Amino acid sequence: MSDEESGWNLTESDPGVFTELLKTLGVPLIVDDLYSLDPDSLAALQPIRALIFLFKWLPQSGTEPDPSLSSGSGAQYDPDFPGFFAHQVVNNACATLAVMNALGNIPALQSGAPLQELLAFTAGMDAQTRGLVITSSDWLREAHNALTPPSAISLDGLGLPKTSEDAYHFIVYMPAMGCVYEFDGLKRHPIRHGAYEEGGEGWIAKAREVVEARIATYPPGSLEFSLLALRDDPLPSLQARLKELQEAGRGNDSEAAELIVKLANENSKRERWAFENSLRRHNHLGLIHALLVAMAKAGKLEPAREGARKKMQERIARRKEKGEAGMEVDD
């Protein structure tokens, strides 16, 4: 099914967007950016339920390497995987599909009824059917689309050249049945990367190896990627612990102080996400129009047009020099 027919809009792959989707699903997890895989950074975010690796191969970099060709990794397809795995059947739904592949394998997951029912309904289905069922779920699609710009100006179907925002690929790494698994909606089966040690960092240590090996198969600078952590929402436990300390008369000691800082950071991050999400959902046409009219009234529109023309000419000249096709306008 084409993206245009599917009714799934392309979303940003932003932690705020993912977390809002999780909230809609009634799941007490959040998604955070991971800037590093080192033990200290990851320890601060535990318990981590899954790692989401999203990446884009940059076309100027030659042929994309095939990671499955790297031998000795102990990775194997698991066609008999009894857990949840769905194929990606609509490209625009890739982010939500990755989230579903993660959520479907979290034991005893708390969530709202619609998600529970969808997971139960798809139990025992093959990956392709499961993918189709998920993609046809109206409420899930609406939850997904809730964070894309209003369709008043939908650019689907106009045959416009694609910008660099799309075409990210999503892969989930998480523990299941004592092994680290890789769920890639574009592959036939889940991939089992082998068992992990329970102690210490647990499955994270094994996952780190696998992700780093994956990144290393690409020539330096040829990959644009992000790592996200799907983790328990820390707010409830932080708040509960602080309350405990305050009630025990220890509201002024160092642990309480640390908690207050953590809570402040977490809350300001949520506020930033709420701000960005409200902008994402909004139709900005009225604001765009009002600003341009104001510029015109202040006599600033004409000079701005001149400036914009010059900038465009410079940009075109630069592109011709480099011999590149396409045009990103935020250069």
Partner 1 sequence: MSAAPATILAFKAGRAFRREGTNFVDHSPEKGAIILQKGEDELLHFIWKNRSTGELEEDLILFPGDASFVKIPQAPGGRTYVLKFSSSNQRHFDASTNRDEEFVNNLNMVLQDPDRIPVWQTASTSQPQASTSQTGPSTRAAAPAGTTPEQLAQLRTLVQSMAGNTSQEPELSLNDILTPENVLPLFTSHPDLIPALFPHLPPDLPTPPSAEVLQQIITSPQFRGAVRNFDQALRTGMLGGLVRGLGLPEEAGTGVEAFLRAIQEQSRGEDRMETD
| Residue from 188, 243, 250, 309 in contact with partner 1 (CB under 8 A) | 309
Q: Around Cβ 103, how many Cβ atoms within 10 Å?
A: 22
User: Residue 281 Cβ, how far from partner 1 at the closest point, in Å?
Assistant: 7
271 scored as a contact of partner 1 (CB under 8 A): yes
Please select the residue that binds partner 1; options are 66, 247, 321, 330, rule is CB under 8 A.
330
List the one residue from 119, 125, 223, 295 that touches partner 1 (CB under 8 A). 295
For residue 88, give both structure tokens: 């990606």
Sole residue written with tokens 């939850």: 143
Q: For partner 1, which is the closer residue by CB, 243 or 311? A: 311
Which candidate, 140, 273, 136, 127, places its Cα nearest to that of 189? Answer: 127
279 interacts with partner 1 by CB under 8 A: yes
Assess whether 169 carries a catalytic annotation.
Answer: yes
Can residue 302 be called a binding residue for partner 1 (CB under 8 A)?
yes
Residue pair 60/172 in contact (Cβ under 8 Å)? The answer is no
Q: Is 301 in the site for partner 1 (CB under 8 A)?
A: yes
- Fill in the DSSP letter of residue 92: G
Q: Is 179 a catalytic residue?
A: no
Cis ω before 149 (30° cut-off from 0): no
Would you say 189 or 315 has its CB closer to partner 1? 315
**Residue 275 near partner 1 by CB under 8 A:** yes
SS3 69: helix
Give strand ranges (E) for 190-298.
191-195, 223-232
Q: Give the helix/strand (H/E) hosting 175.
A: strand 169-176
Based on the shown chain and the rule CB under 8 A, indicate whether residue 146 belongs to the binding site for partner 1.
Answer: no
Q: In whole angstroms, how far apart are CA 247 and each of 200, 235, 250, 258, 260? A: 33, 18, 7, 17, 15
Smallest gap from residue 277 Cβ to partner 1 (A): 9
Residue 287 interacts with partner 1 (CB under 8 A)?
Answer: yes
Identify which range of 1-9, 57-65, 172-180, 307-315 contacts partner 1 by CB under 8 A.
Answer: 307-315
The answer to whether the beta carbons of residues 51 and 226 sit under 8 Å apart is: no
Kindly list the catalytic residues.
94, 169
Binding positions for partner 1, rule: CB under 8 A: 149, 152-153, 155, 158, 160, 163, 165, 271, 274-276, 278-298, 300-302, 304-305, 307-309, 311-312, 316, 327, 329-330
